[in-house]
């Protein structure tokens, strides 16, 4: 499976956390909240032009893409994680939105 690589590169694996999650799919303006936003809170937006402040519409085309063939590039307006052993706040970072379909064997 493609995600089996994580077991080879992680030194610590924490127990799973079971919590309700909310997903608002609105393209590059999507949002994900886990545990009512108390565990994970992520919101995306388009990248702003640093000179004019206007939003830029930027796409990444991937003809042989693993998960998607086209993604819209963006940034996080909010990215907080508070899950016990992991706690950080990291907004304003690379983000992308793409529709995809994945199925295992």
Q: Are 75 and 93 contacting, i.e. CB atoms less than 8 angstroms apart? A: yes
Strand partners, 24: 31
Q: What is the C-alpha R_g of the chain?
A: 16
Q: Tell me, what's the pLDDT at 16? A: 86
Domain boundaries, the chain: 19-97
Residue-wise pLDDT tens digits, 1-57? 677 788 788 888 788 889 999 999 999 999 999 999 999 999 999 999 999 999 999
pTM recorded for the entire structure: 0.78
């Amino acid at each position: 499976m493609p995600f089996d690589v994580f077991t080879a590169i992680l030194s610590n694996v924490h127990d799973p956390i079971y919590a309700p999650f909310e997903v608002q799919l609105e393209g590059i303006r999507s949002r994900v909240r886990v545990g009512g936003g108390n565990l994970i809170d992520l919101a995306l937006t388009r990248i702003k032009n640093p000179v004019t402040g206007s939003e830029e519409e930027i796409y990444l085309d991937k003809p042989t893409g693993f998960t998607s063939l086209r993604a819209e590039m963006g940034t996080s307006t909010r990215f907080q994680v508070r899950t016990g052993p992991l706690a950080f706040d990291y907004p304003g970072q690379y983000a992308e939105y793409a529709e995809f379909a994945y199925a295992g064997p």
